[in-house]
Amino acid sequence: MVALYLDTNPTELIIQGKDMNKKISVKNPFCSGEYVVYPAHGVGKVADITKQTVAGSELELIVVNFAKDKMTLRIPMSKAETTGLRKISEESTMSDALATLKGKAKVKKVMWSRRAQEYENKINSGSPVAIAEVIRDLYRSENLAEQSYSERQIYEQALDRLANEYAVCENIAPAEATSKILSILAK
């Protein structure tokens, strides 16, 4: 007979049986109370890691709250990696994203609808560097021509995503993070 149970540490699974006593690590990189990034929605906070029975199967779910959108997502632990759920970026990744903002804008000479689709894909990738590229390419200083409504919407969405992650990474207010990003762009 083989017995399976979780140790006091929720990331350890113990298998005991005849001539067997093994500890196996279970992949659970998320903890309640920490901030995470869900690519399609941005920065959220892990509210709980819970088990729930759905259609007769017991699933381990990561409950993520997005306070700004007043939304809660329940992501199966087994699907967390494939959905792109990840921890807040390291300082080095955020530095790369901020360095990207300092670069020269690269605007392709294709139709706006095609560029807009590419920008949306970059934003929804969840990569801070890709989001910074969108911000850099769509940024307009005060003395340049006006943006179209759709350009402005995409720009603001990208700015909001990067500023929120930067704010959590640096432990500052989102408004302060936004002003720091805008000061980098203005140089």
Domain containing 57 — which CATH number? Answer: 2.40.10.170
CATH number at residue 111: 1.20.58.1290
Alpha helices in 1-142 (DSSP H): 80-83, 91-101, 112-125, 128-138
DSSP state letters, 59-95: EEEEEEEETTTTEEEEEEGGGHHHHT-EEPPPHHHHH
Of the residues 20, 54, 87, the one at which a domain ends: 87
State the maximum Cα–Cα separation within the chain, in Å, rounded to a whole number.
77
* pTM score, whole prediction: 0.78
Co-location of 178 and 119 in the same domain: yes
Q: Residue 48, Cβ neighbours under 10 Å: how many?
A: 13
The tens place of each residue's pLDDT in the chain, 187 residues long, gives: 444 444 444 444 445 555 555 544 455 677 888 999 998 898 999 998 988 887 888 888 899 998 888 889 898 888 888 888 889 989 989 999 999 998 888 877 889 899 999 999 999 998 999 999 999 999 886 666 677 889 999 999 999 999 999 999 999 999 999 999 999 888 7
**What is the length of the chain?**
187
Last residue of a domain, one of 56, 72, 87: 87
Give 3-state DSSP helix, strand, coil % of the chain, rounded to 5. Answer: 40, 25, 30
Are 120 and 47 in a shared domain?
Answer: no
Query: What pLDDT shows up at residue 6?
Result: 44
Asked if residue 70 and residue 23 are part of one domain, the reply reads: no
Contact 14, 2 (CB under 8 A): no
Indicate if 174 and 109 belong to the same structural domain.
yes
152 shares a domain with 96? yes
Q: Are residues 112 and 77 in the same domain?
A: no
Note the pLDDT of residue 16.
52
Is residue 113 located within the same domain as residue 140?
yes
Neighbours of 147 (CB within 10 A): 15
pLDDT at residue number 14: 47
Same domain, 106 and 147: yes
Is residue 13 within 8 A of residue 24, CB to CB? The reply is: yes
The number of folded domains in the chain is 3
Q: Are residues 175 and 131 in the same domain?
A: yes
59 CB neighbour count, 10 Å cutoff: 16
| 20 lies in the same domain as 43 | no
Give the helix/strand (H/E) hosting 182.
helix 174-186
The boundaries of the domain holding residue 15 are 1-28
Q: What is the pLDDT of residue 22?
A: 52
**Does one domain contain both 65 and 115?**
no
Q: Are residues 14 and 97 in the same domain?
A: no
